[in-house]
Amino acid sequence: MIVKHPKANGSQSMSLTRILMEIMMVASNNNVNNENLIWLDMEMSGLLPDSDRILELAAVVTDANLNVLGESPVFVIHQSDAVLDGMDAWNKGAHGRSGLIDKVKASTTSEQMATEQMIAFLKEHVPAGKSPMCGNSICQDRRFMARYMPELESYFHYRNLDVSVFKELARRWKPEIYAGFKKASRHEALADIYESIDELKYYREHFIVK
């Protein structure tokens, strides 16, 4: 809202509006950085992109030092009863306990709608093609994204930043460090992202030689 001084004319009011818009654009652009990292997690109905579908996704943006800069909405994707009924026992149990199955049935969000809104969020923080896709076993999420959300997949750099690499190396080289990080594994997109960020912070402190 623009508060207009009683003596201000129309041109002065428009000038003030333009100044405020420019200030907002500069502030927004200051958040965009090539070095920012996009962390992502999906929950799926199974492991096979050709037959299973995306149920939920979310993203968190951090700076290069893993400080959180922004958090996307959690997108729950509507899927048919046939998709949900076709899940195996493990997925039905995990997604039933978390309440995700009921959320999927109630959702009106499609893959395309989620794609458009997620890209709009990412543009506020990272230019296209700059951030690797960050997360745990993130190649699996990327396979589903390439299949069902190709526009979103192409927003990322072709590289991945997979925390699972550090996990597997620690398990073989430093099992005591591997044992020191306990995961809750809630199988909820946003919670799992923050757990991945915390896990990389742990390995940065205890495993990566400075």
CATH number of the domain that residue 90 is part of = 3.30.420.10
For residue 179, being part of any structural domain is answered with no
Sign of the Cα pseudo-torsion (47, 50, 52, 54, in order): positive
pLDDT, tens digit, for every residue of 86-98?
A: 999 999 999 999 9
- Note whether residue 174 is domain-resident: no
Domain count, the chain: 1
- 8 A C-beta contact, residue 36 and residue 64: yes
pLDDT in tens, the chain (210 residues): 333 444 445 555 556 666 555 544 444 456 899 999 999 999 999 999 999 999 999 999 999 999 999 999 999 999 999 999 999 999 999 999 999 999 999 999 999 999 999 999 999 999 999 999 999 999 999 999 999 999 999 999 999 999 999 999 999 999 999 999 998 877 899 999 999 999 999 999 999 976
Residue 78 counted as domain residue: yes
Whether 114 is in a domain gets the answer yes
Taking CB atoms within 8 Å and a gap of at least 24, the contacts of 150-159 are 151/115, 151/119, 152/115, 152/118, 152/119, 154/128, 155/119, 155/122, 155/128, 155/129, 156/38, 156/129, 156/131, 156/132, 157/129, 157/130, 157/131, 157/132, 157/133, 159/132, 159/133
Closest of 164, 112, 172 to residue 139, by C-alpha:
164
Catalytic residue among 148, 155, 158, 194: 158
Which domain covers residue 45, as residue numbers?
35-161
pLDDT digits (tens, 9 = 90+) for 40-97: 999 999 999 999 999 999 999 999 999 999 999 999 999 999 999 999 999 999 999 9
Q: Six-digit token pair at 145?
A: 């994204």
Question: Is residue 136 a part of any domain in this protein?
Answer: yes
Residue 126 covered by a domain = yes
Q: Is 29 exposed, middle or buried (0-12, 13-18, 19+ CB in 10 A)?
A: exposed
Radius of gyration of the chain (CA): 21
203 is catalytic: no
Residue 104 belongs to some domain of the structure: yes
Instruction: Give, in order, the Cα–Cα distances in Å from 161 to each of 4, 88, 139.
Output: 50, 29, 9
For 41, the enclosing helix (H) or strand (E) is strand 37-44
- Measured CA to CA, the distance from residue 107 to residue 84 in angstroms comes to 13
Residue 109 domain-assigned (yes or no): yes
Residue 39: which of 152, 197, 187 has the closest Cα? 197
Residue 201 to residue 44: CA distance in whole angstroms:
26
